[in-house]
Amino acid sequence: MKLSDVKTLITSGTIILAVALYLIFSDPKEEATPVTTDTNVSLEETKEYVITPEFAMDKTGKQLIDVNYLSANDGDTINVELKGEKKKVRFLMIDTPEMNYDKGDPMPYAEQAKALTIQKLEAAKSVQVLFDKGPETDKYGRLLAYVFVDGVSLPEILLNEGLAAVRYVNAPNNTLENELLEVQDVAKNAKLNIWEHENYLQRDGFHPEEVSK
């Protein structure tokens, strides 16, 4: 065997050995491209809502009005400051279980609904109300309006969570009725919260006794 052949064999063997050692001892993790997710983005931020402010204004023909949130009576009634005056706002076509102040214990899910309403309003940078085509107040002097927090429909949030139902529908203050029912159906089909109990909500209102069965 010629000297040149020996050198070639040695060189080839060295290369093969080096490749083998690399394959054995190299960390396969170094070759993988890491997959990252943005854990700071919540589901709510990425959700597409049915009732956007633009959609609601276009359907009702009304404009959003800025208010300052003061407090919440329950899940569907809040107190705001509007043009320097304190006003009570009743969410249009939305009903949450009653807190039953001075009358007994809160109805099932009443406290959860109120807590969610407070949470969203206290965290909001912008709170706005939107009137419909009908009367702006009820017989108790409460404003009847849709409420938006940072551009998101608060009634829709409550319906999404199964903590409210579509009730007290009176034309012409029912422009967004179909959209609210669409949202409600999703929670109802999923049996979320108030919908977990088949007969909790009946035509005449909530029946706490059905939850305790």
Q: Which of 90, 122, 161, 179 is catalytic?
A: 90
Q: Which two tokens stand for residue 173?
A: 């203050």
Contact, 131 vs 145, CB < 8 A? Answer: yes
- Preceding omega of 172 cis (within 30 degrees of 0): yes
Whether 142 is a known active-site residue: answer yes
Whether 203 is a known active-site residue: answer no
173: three-class secondary structure by DSSP: coil
Q: Which of 142, 179, 198, 209 is catalytic?
A: 142
Q: Which residues contact 120 (CB under 8 A, 6 or more apart)?
A: 149, 152, 154, 157
DSSP per position, 54-97: HHHHHHH----EEEEEEEESSSSEEEEEETTEEEEEEETTEE--
Q: Which of 45, 81, 85, 98 is catalytic?
A: 98
Amino acid identity of 82? L
- Write out the catalytic residue numbers: 90, 98, 142
